Amino acid sequence: MIEISNLTKNYGDRKAIDSLNFTVKKGEVVGFLGPNGAGKTTTMKIITGFMAPTSGQVKVAGFDVFENPYEVKRRIGYLPETPPLYGDMVVTDFLEFVAKLKGVEDSRVNQLVARAVEKTQLGDVRHRLIQNLSKGYRQRVGLAQAIVSDPEILILDEPTVGLDPRQVAEIRTLLQELRGSHTIILSTHILPEVQATCERVIIINRGRIVAEDTLSGLSNRLRGGSYVQLRVRRNSSELAQALKAVGGVTSVEINGNNLKVHGTGTEELIEAVSELAVAKRAGLVELSHPEAGLEDIFIELTTQH
Ligand SMILES: Nc1ncnc2c1ncn2[C@@H]1O[C@H](COP(=O)(O)OP(=O)(O)OP(=O)(O)O)[C@@H](O)[C@H]1O
Ligand SMILES: [Mg+2]
């Protein structure tokens, strides 16, 4: 549905994105992650035809963004980083205006505006001027204008920024409703959000893709093998020393009575740790082996070594 090849954008002599290649299939929900300044917004602006790349190509539903901008734009709902809202318009008038601009037939406009208002919970403010709305409500209007024409593709640049926790949960539900029937790329810094909504993740750092995989694929790929966490009642430093000598253990971090043991092979680690804890009479009270979460992966992949 979306094909990106060798996409590069320079701002003067600063390279914002550097030869990006990726594709997004119909119906996929892809999380686009990366630290501040990585190039997420730049990529999204190019995909949606709001900015020209320095080189490379973007195809949406088979159409080249710059040869057939109309065909592309009418298929995409875009929530930019700073939504262009007309402050002196009333919410529903603005949404009607956007729907018509997107080529929605007159007979469907009212119904689609009502749907967008409902999905983004704008009912209470629908007759108010946009400029008088609070930040979170303006963000909802931005989201409503992205979905109002019921486009096949949604490109959402940090859709939940500035929203209260309840609204964040609503947006998550909305994205879950839209998945399957819509192709979605969303950028966010909220990692649990990605875990809840995205099947696949693309992580970029300094304008280049550093990972592109499913969440579980990324988790397996993380360097450093597995680790086991434990809490004991006493003799923690003695236990830590003994653990360092065990085969397969690569390092032991100690923080009071809490130990973090890194090594290879989770089950072997658990066995070694629990046996030693008993032998050293350390009073083992807790033992766990967390899977590498998205946060660990993100930090690992976007930190220069
Ligand atoms: N109009 C511009 N002129 C010059 N440099 C720019 C411009 N827009 C972006 N950049 C630079 O391009 C790089 C990528 O910026 P971009 O906004 O795409 O990052 P981002 O991943 O969206 O970051 P954030 O998480 O902070 O939104 C940054 O180094 C930024 O300073
Ligand atoms: Mg951005």
The CATH number of 222-291, from 1.25.60.10, 3.90.550.50, 3.30.70.260, 3.30.70.100, is 3.30.70.100
Indicate the CATH number for domain 2-220.
3.40.50.300
- Judged against a pLDDT cut of 80, whether residue 71 lies above it is answered with yes
Residue nearest to atom 16 of ligand 1 (CA): 39
Region of residue 165 (left: phi > 0; alpha: psi -120 to 50; beta: else): alpha
Q: Which of 18, 20, 41 to mutate to test the pocket of ligand 1 (most atoms within 8 A of CB)?
A: 41
Residues with CB under 5 A from ligand 2 (ion): 40-41, 81
CA of 40 to the centre of ligand 2 (A): 5
Residue nearest to atom 30 of ligand 1 (CA): 37
- The pLDDT assigned to 161 comes to 86
Amino acid at 130: I
Q: Which residues of 36-69 are buried (b: 16+ CB within 10 A; e: fewer)?
A: eebbbbbbbbbbbbeeebeebebbbbebebeeee
Amino acid at 55: S
Distance CA 269, CA 249 (A): 7
Measured at the CA of 112, the angle between CA 106 and CA 117, to 5 degrees, comes to 135
Q: What is the pLDDT of residues 13-63, one digit of tens each?
A: 999 999 999 999 999 999 999 989 999 999 999 999 999 999 999 999 999
CA of 96 to the centre of ligand 1 (A): 31
- The pLDDT assigned to 219 comes to 66
Q: Judge whether 248 and 241 are in contact, CB under 8 Å.
A: no
Q: Which of 274, 272, 288 is nearest to 227 (CA)?
A: 288
Q: What is the pLDDT of residues 241-291, one digit of tens each?
A: 999 998 888 899 999 999 999 887 777 888 888 999 999 999 999 998 776
CA of 94 to the centre of ligand 1 (A): 28
Mean residue pLDDT of the chain comes to 89
CA of 169 to the centre of ligand 1 (A): 28
Residue 204 CA: which ligand 1 atom is closest? Answer: 21
Distance CA 44, CA 40 (A): 6
Distance CA 122, CA 93 (A): 13
Distance CA 54, CA 7 (A): 8
Both tokens of residue 258? 């809490």
- The pLDDT assigned to 19 comes to 95
Domain boundaries, the chain: 2-220, 222-291
Residue 9 CA: which ligand 1 atom is closest? Answer: 12
Distance CA 221, CA 175 (A): 27
- The pLDDT assigned to 223 comes to 47
Q: What is the pLDDT of residues 151-208, one digit of tens each?
A: 999 999 999 888 888 888 888 888 888 888 899 999 988 877 888 888 899 999 999 9
- Judged against a pLDDT cut of 70, whether residue 222 lies above it is answered with no
Q: Output the ligand 1 site: residues, CB below 6 A.
A: 11, 14, 16, 34, 36-42
Residue nearest to atom 18 of ligand 1 (CA): 39
- The pLDDT assigned to 152 comes to 94
